[in-house]
Structure 1
Amino acid sequence: MKILAIESSGLTASVAVMTTEDLIGEYTLNCKKTHSQTLMPLIEQLNKDIDLTLKDIDAIAISEGPGSFTGLRIGAATAKGLAFSLNIPILSVSSIDGLANNILCEHSIICPIMDAKRNQIYTALYKREKGQLNKITDSKVIDIETLIEELKTYDQQVTFNGDGVEVYKEIIEQSSLLSVFAPKNLMKQKASSIGDLALSDYGLVKKVKANDFVPVYLRKSQAEREYEQRIKNND
């Protein structure tokens, strides 16, 4: 099986082509360009460099969210358009699961944290056993102080990654947690981590038709929240 993996849930734009045996190629950009500027050019350049046509792809693996509302919509539109035109399925993977899959450590709680703004983060907790990534809590939106208190109950080392580390690292370090932080090459989203989960299928993947795929936001967008507040204020 050969898949194209797309990750657009954060600032990082990443695409990869993988098989069940190997990572054939991966391009990742962490810059201020929008995903509408980068995703398709990255896909086209990657396919060109590995002498691959889109007709060789058996499925599209996509980070479903949570994350940036704009990034997720662009990623979803790209994946749905390709999958529909090629008549292939979409393999939907949580962006938090993908971040956790960057970490191979088996003696630590794995805790990705994505900045959700408004003093909150998107997160879930994981353990890796015999190479397999196991999710031990549901994905959720939570504030960092509540998360730290939850982590203390495990009384174990915690490995953090994700863009939330940049925002909350000092708070984590000042807590009594035994915490470590992923190196820079494992800190941000990677399409290959999404693709690896899609191919390994540890029960963390949903297979859907192109028309049925929808991003997972976990909470309403700022525009929706502001609209509801205006309606409430006018009542």
Structure 2
Amino acid sequence: MSYILNIETATKNCSVALAKEGKTILCKEIAEEGYSHAERLHVFIEEIIKEAGIELKDLVAIAVSQGPGSYTGLRIGVSAAKGLCYALNIPLIAVDTLKTLASQVTETDGLIVPMIDARRMEVYSAIFSSTLEKEREILAEIITENSFEEVPEKLYFVGDCNEKCKTVLKKDNFVFLDAIKYPSANEMSALSFDKYKKSDTVDIAYFEPYYLKDFLTTTPKKK
């Protein structure tokens, strides 16, 4: 059996899921303002392994959220994942955080825009098709009233910055799915198993989370 442990810590949501053959069998997570990842992560891992009735040696890989997202959150998740991979001598799989977030949208007649809050009007975002093909690469950008105006399709926005973005993104083809707020290890299960089957892994020693630091903004049109 291919058991993969999935770790998602890129946002306020500290999330761990155990998957078998790409399907989640157990998931524990909590989203708190104080970022309790350092205290919660290893507890969740221990509890899930115990409740599943397996041992760490039964894992075939560890999957971790690669970012973008919180610097501290990503470091905690990646450090834990690397430590387990070294100890167990198993591969490390890196999963796109925004793709994990976008995969929570199960039905859509348009494109999916997952966004992770950075600060003020700054976000990390990408655009995916309904089949999770990346239509636009990940950007660190400042949201203005002109953002996404070049996209004619209906756009479904998900993430933890919907509320602030609603104040400026008001076009008729914009839809905000407020129930989908944080990426979760639950949705990582299928994504990480697909990578595992393709041997799409990363170098444990040299892998670093995907940080975005420069923010782009669009120039308002002249009236």
Query: Following TM superposition, by how much is the alpha carbon of 1:162 offset from its aligned partner in structure 2, in angstroms?
Result: 1.0
Among 53, 56, 60, the alignment partner of 1:54 is 56
Pair 1:179 & 2:174 matched: yes
Match of 1:189 in 2: 183
Among 167, 171, 175, the alignment partner of 2:164 is 167
Match of 1:135 in 2: 134
The 1-side partners of 2:144 and 2:60 are apart by: 43
Q: Is the CA contact 1:197–1:205 (under 8 Å) kept in the aligned structure 2?
A: no
Match of 2:154 in 1: 157
Q: Is the CA contact 2:159–2:178 (under 8 Å) kept in the aligned structure 1?
A: no
Distance 1:74-1:161 versus aligned 2 partners, 3 A rule: same
Match of 2:205 in 1: 211
Over the aligned positions, Cα root-mean-square deviation in angstroms equals: 2.1
Unaligned runs of 5+ in 1: 221-235
The 2-side partners of 1:198 and 1:121 are apart by: 25
Match of 2:7 in 1: 6
Residue identity in the other structure for 2:106: L
Query: Following TM superposition, by how much is the alpha carbon of 1:96 offset from its aligned partner in structure 2, in angstroms?
Result: 1.0
Query: Following TM superposition, by how much is the alpha carbon of 1:33 offset from its aligned partner in structure 2, in angstroms?
Result: 4.4
Superimposed CA distance per residue, residues 55-88 of structure 1 (whole angstroms, 9 cap, x where no aligned partner):
1110111101111000011011100001110111
Q: Which runs of structure 2 are paired with 1:34-113 in the superposition (5 Å)?
A: 34-113=36-115
Query: Following TM superposition, by how much is the alpha carbon of 1:219 offset from its aligned partner in structure 2, in angstroms?
Result: 1.5
Match of 2:21 in 1: 20
Q: Which runs of 4+ in 1 moved over 3 A?
A: none
Q: Is the CA contact 1:127–1:135 (under 8 Å) kept in the aligned structure 2?
A: yes
Q: Equivalent pairs: percent with the same residue?
A: 31
The 2-side partners of 1:120 and 1:33 are apart by: 20
| Higher mean displacement: 36-45 or 190-199 | 190-199
The 2-side partners of 1:215 and 1:206 are apart by: 16
Greater helix share, structure number? 1
The 2-side partners of 1:166 and 1:51 are apart by: 41
| Higher mean displacement: 14-23 or 49-58 | 14-23
Q: Is the CA contact 2:95–2:188 (under 8 Å) kept in the aligned structure 1?
A: yes
Q: Is the CA contact 2:13–2:183 (under 8 Å) kept in the aligned structure 1?
A: yes
The 1-side partners of 2:199 and 2:140 are apart by: 20
Query: Following TM superposition, by how much is the alpha carbon of 1:206 offset from its aligned partner in structure 2, in angstroms?
Result: 4.7
Unaligned runs of 5+ in 2: 215-223
* SS at 2:99 equivalent: helix
Paired positions, count? 211
Distance 1:206-1:214 versus aligned 2 partners, 3 A rule: farther
Query: Following TM superposition, by how much is the alpha carbon of 1:133 offset from its aligned partner in structure 2, in angstroms?
Result: 1.4
Distance 1:193-1:9 versus aligned 2 partners, 3 A rule: same
The 1-side partners of 2:154 and 2:207 are apart by: 36
* SS at 1:81 equivalent: helix
Residue identity in the other structure for 1:171: V
* SS at 1:112 equivalent: strand
Q: Is the CA contact 1:15–1:27 (under 8 Å) kept in the aligned structure 2?
A: yes
